[in-house]
Amino acid sequence: MNRSTATLSAAAPRAWRLPALLLMLAAWLGYHTLSARLPVAQWAGALLPHADATLPQLVVRYGWLPRFAIALIAGAALSLAGVVFQQVLRNPLAEPLTLGVSAGAYLALTIAAVVAPALAADLRFTVALAGAALAMLAAMAMTWRKGFAAVSIVLAGMIVNLYCGALSVILTIVFERSLTSVFIWGGGSLVQNGWAGVLWLLPRVLACGFATALLVRPLTLFSLDDGSASQLGMSLKWTRLVALAVAVTLSAFVTSAVGVIGFIGLGGPVLARLMGARRVRDQLLWAPLVGALLLAIADQAVQSLPGVLGELLPTGAAVALCGGPLLLWMLRRVHIEAPRPAAADAAPPRRALTMPALLLGALLVAGTVVSLGFSMTLHGWQWTDAQQWSDVWFWRVPRLVASLGAGVMVALAGTILQRVTGNPMASPDLLGVSGGAMLGMLAAALLAAAPSTPVLLAGSSAGALTCLVTIVALGRRSSFAPEHVLLAGIAISAFSQAVVMLATASGGAYANLLRPLQYGSTYLIVPATAIAVSVCAVLAVSIAYLGARWLEILPLGANVANALGVSAQRARLTLLVVAAVLTAGATVVIGPMSFVGLMAPHLARLLGFPRARSQMLVAALIGGLLMVLSDWLGRNMIFPQQMPAGVIATLLGGPYLMWLLRR
Amino acid sequence: MKTGARFSGKRRLALAGLGAATLTAAGAALARAAADGFASMSVAGRAEGAGRKPPTRVVVLDWPLTEVVLSLGVVPVGVSRPAWYARLDGVPPLPPSVVDTGLLYQPNFEVLAALEPEFIVITPWHAPLRGLLERIAPTLTVPLFGPGVDAYPAVRAATRELAGALGRHAAADALFAQADAKLADARMRLAGFRATRRPVYLLRPIDDRHIAVFGRNSLFGGVLHALGIENAWQGAADPQGMSEADLGALAKRADAQAVAIGVAPGVAAQLARSPLWGALPFVRRNRVQHIDPLPALGGVVASMRCADSLAKALEGVST
């Protein structure tokens, strides 16, 4: 320990300043909150167990102190897990939240609370742990064939994260009233009422820390590239597996004890590295220390907030609010050396456009007719006759048109993004524009006393635009390198999901209103909106056609593009703006996460349409068809309860995405 | 090269034009949607003002409001998720004939329309749906809970308002008479407890770490006030009058009595194991009374039940 401290200070003479500053801040805040609860003269009585302690002393002994302790332990554990994840996956953005572990645990608890409420109360730790482990296993299963390649595992984790989050929200739409305690837990509350939580968590974290200490040498070798590490006699696959298992267990323990607390696993290691801890063993030592102090500071700061905020805001929420910007700031500075993912597959044979396009068009028409005519009613399944039609058209046509238009727009946006970034995984939801639109809508709903459709629409557009500007600003620094744009988007998506989760986790009347917004406003579509959406969709098709040449050239690379007289940077920027506007329009209708923008272009390519123009046309048809189908299923699946079309599209799209990653 | 530049110039112009067209189209649609909203609002105002035969086919999209409507002797034709009304301990009971209209904030419009209601009752939280609901039937927004709303008087005002809209003045008069009698009875039985001048925490434990406390502007907080008992929780509360407190926050009033509403057996066992719960003054001095589950969000009937339960729980307490 002394040696590493010495080398650390030798490497960076001012390294002690940051932890000292954090320590002072934590101590000052702690003094502040503690003295508000108990006069300094009585502190000794609270610390030392004796029988006749006064009530404030007991509150400190069983409330304040264990809360402080568990903040330190959880912060240290999350940071330690973050270091291991980042080292093994060679990705500075890996941490429990971005790998889907927290979301898995949250989903497991939500399911348990619905299926067996008694079980959920007694076995909370076990249930959450099982969910976290399953989520990580899912992410790992998806990347098994690629030998757990660093980029794909983070991508897989993020997708598990988004999908688990989506499933949780679906459950909460249907079962909201039985899930109050799950919401609180999901918000990352550090409140304690005794030492049981600390005594449960501490030995488990220590055991994991010990296991990590045993892994220091193999972990160090991960600083080399795979080839060199293998030559030094290391089995990469198994070392990675063991190290990941330790880190997952560690983060699952924390998640099950105190709930979803993101970004500490990101912040701790980053600050440790800024302090000058370059070697793995230094990071393993310093990052937990910094992380512990960070979480303690955040928790004390929350406790000293005045009034309602201090009492209602879960610490996890406060941390997440600082964490999103931190993630984006890191993206600006961190250079991510990601191998460009290979194109999905060798180009399948090209086909003549006419027949399949006609066939798809016919399918779309058939789907529309079935969706409008055949539906569940109070008297069971029925074909709607002409007389009933005059009653029901108002409720079916606008939302069908809007869903169709949104499907077309999001499919086009996906095609454009995949071609511009040269990344087969790109799509509007992974770009983060949908997340930004969602955040804007949330802000509008919170600020307006009685949120109406136009207000929500305006908020959503503003959010998408803000998000776009952020991404463009970030992308400009790296000349819109595909990886940077995509990771910035994923960061924003995760941030928006965290914020939404926390906004709804705080409970109360707002939560009931906000939760449904996440899946779009198919309920609130009036003819005017439907017309606006379809006009936008038609315009989108025309614009995309004008950009087809750019889309053909850009995937060949910037040099080729410039040689052909196309300014690569300007073309990219223009196309990104188009894609973002399309996404904003679609998000208002079908919500942030549909995966249609990912699926439609892929299916078009698999059907044999690799050229930009034909791929866009076929993708638009497929996107529309998928959304028409989703809208129909959403209206009839669990009648009379209606699921928004975006939810069904997510349910359909998620498994496809996971299958895609596995290949 | 030259031709390329010319084409790209044209393309840029075309793109700009199309972009402008998109914005115009979207803007016009937005403006129209907003105008529609205002129009439907003014239509609603007129519909409510017009005097005519009281509606009998009523749809209610909220559980507390369902209680209010039922207590006025009107059985709704449709309610959001009727099963939840019973699960939230609603009284009077909902007859099984009532049709499920789907989720609370996403009702199935086709079902609503098929029920051919003459009147729809909603909360302020349904504001985004109001324009569409107006197409089906005249819609009345009734605030029971919300920012700045004191629930106890609001519930009484809402009951009056609904009685007027449903032509049920006599039923409302009878209900209020019954409520006042119950309240007077409870006040009398609680004279002994009032003499102790003890404030009362009204609690509903959520799990072993979080307790929902009823604040001053909650319905049951209002019942306490009407009974002449001080609410021990003077802290902040959310728009529904509830606050989510940790156990330490409940230690501020050492002389307080606690009344726990509908504690689940599992949660009670967890609490019994907690040293901090055991250290709270009202637990240590055995000053916790348990009463049966009540709907935290309810109407006049719920406040009557609360007054009665409080009287039962506290009438023996005189020290």
Query: What six digits make up the tokens of B169?
Result: 């003045």
ipTM above 0.90, yes or no: no
Q: Does residue A506 share a domain with residue A606?
A: yes
Query: What is the maximal distance between C-alpha atoms in chain A?
Result: 88
Selection from B154, B143, B169 nearest residue B54 by Cα: B169
Top-confidence range, A528-537, A540-549, A562-571, B198-207: B198-207
Q: Does residue A564 share a domain with residue A649?
A: yes
Across-strand partners of A520?
Answer: none
Query: Strands A380-383 and A374-377: what pairing?
Result: antiparallel
CB contact under 8 A, A173 and B145: no
- Domain contains A503: yes
Cβ neighbors of B277 (< 8 A, separation 6 or more) are: A193, B208, B247, B271, B283
Angular region, A265: left φ>0, alpha ψ -120 to 50, beta rest: alpha
Query: What six digits make up the tokens of B179?
Result: 């409520």
Question: What gap in Å lies between CA B106 and CA B119, rounded to an integer?
Answer: 18
Give contacts of B253 with chain A, Cβ < 8 Å.
none
* Rounded average pLDDT over A390-409: 88
- Domain contains A356: no
Per-residue model confidence (pLDDT) at position B57:
93
Question: What gap in Å lies between CA B232 and CA B252, rounded to an integer?
Answer: 9
Q: Does residue A322 share a domain with residue A464?
A: no
- Domain contains A562: yes
**Position B254 pLDDT exceeds 50:** yes
- Domain contains A495: yes
Q: What is the pLDDT of residues A548-590, one digit of tens each?
A: 888 888 877 778 888 887 787 788 878 877 887 788 778 777 7
CATH number at residue A447: 1.10.3470.10
- Other beta carbons within 10 angstroms of residue B92's beta carbon come to 13
Give contacts of A118 with chain B, Cβ < 8 Å.
266
Q: Answer whether B291's CB lies under 8 Å from B170's CB.
A: no
- Domain contains A7: no
CB contact under 8 A, A184 and B207: yes
From the CA of B181, how many Å to the nearest CA of chain A? Answer: 32
Which residue is it, tokens 């597996």? A241
* Rounded average pLDDT over A106-121: 77
Q: Does residue A410 share a domain with residue A324?
A: no
Cβ neighbors of A360 (< 8 A, separation 6 or more) are: A618, A621, A622, A625
- Domain contains A419: yes
Question: What gap in Å lies between CA A646 and CA A172, rounded to an integer?
Answer: 15
Top-confidence range, A357-371, B171-185, B275-289: B171-185
- Domain contains A489: yes
Q: How many distinct structural domains can be found in chain A?
A: 2
Q: Does residue A324 share a domain with residue A412?
A: no
Per-residue model confidence (pLDDT) at position A560:
80
* Rounded average pLDDT over A73-86: 92
Mutation site, B116, B134, B204, B246, interface A, largest A CB count within 10 A: B246
The last residue of one of the domains, among A314, A333, A352, is A333
The last residue of one of the domains, among A299, A314, A333, is A333
Selecting from B29, B243, B254 the residue whose C-beta is nearest the C-beta of A531 gives B29
Q: Which domain holds residue A268?
A: 69-333
Write the DSSP symbol of residue A353. Answer: S
Q: Does residue A186 share a domain with residue A294?
A: yes
CATH, domain B192-314, list 3.90.850.10, 3.40.50.720, 3.40.50.1980, 3.30.70.2660: 3.40.50.1980
> For A275-278, which contacts have Cβ atoms below 8 Å and span 24 or more sequence positions?
A275/A8, A275/A12, A275/A15, A275/A18, A275/A19, A276/A8, A276/A11, A276/A12, A276/A15, A277/A8, A277/A15, A278/A11
- What is the reported pTM? 0.77
**Position B49 pLDDT exceeds 60:** no
Q: Does residue A111 share a domain with residue A243?
A: yes
> Angle A455-B158-B99 (CA atoms, 0-180°, nearest 5)?
75
Stated length of chain A:
663
Beta carbon pairs, A and B, within 8 Å: 219
Q: Does residue A320 share a domain with residue A193?
A: yes
Question: What gap in Å lies between CA A589 and CA A573, rounded to an integer?
Answer: 25
The last residue of one of the domains, among A333, A355, A385, is A333
Q: Does residue A450 share a domain with residue A309?
A: no
Q: Does residue A461 share a domain with residue A543?
A: yes
Numbered ranges of CATH 3.40.50.1980 in chain B: 58-171, 192-314
CB contact under 8 A, A642 and B108: yes
Mutation site, B126, B207, B217, B255, interface A, largest A CB count within 10 A: B207
Selection from B281, B293, B288 nearest residue B317 by Cα: B288
* Rounded average pLDDT over A300-329: 71
* Rounded average pLDDT over A107-127: 76
Question: What gap in Å lies between CA A464 and CA A579, rounded to an integer?
Answer: 11
Selection from A174, A507, A311, A177 nearest residue B293 by Cα: A177
Give contacts of A176 with chain B, Cβ < 8 Å.
104
Selection from B11, B30, B34, B13 nearest residue A536 by Cα: B30
Q: What is the pLDDT of residues B212-244, one digit of tens each?
A: 899 988 999 999 999 999 999 988 777 778 887
- Which H or E run contains B299? none
Per-residue pLDDT band for B160 (boundaries 50, 70, 90) equals very high
| DSSP letter for each residue of A205-217 | HHHHHHHHHHTHH
Architecture of domain B58-171: 3-Layer(aba) Sandwich (3.40)
Query: What six digits make up the tokens of B145?
Result: 């809970």
Question: What gap in Å lies between CA A254 and CA A249, rounded to an integer?
Answer: 9
CB contact under 8 A, B110 and A55: no
Mean pLDDT (chain A, rounded): 78
Q: Does residue A291 share a domain with residue A192?
A: yes
> Strand (E) positions, chain B?
58-60, 78-79, 99-100, 119-122, 139-141, 200-205, 211-214, 242-245, 257-261, 288-291
- Domain contains A291: yes
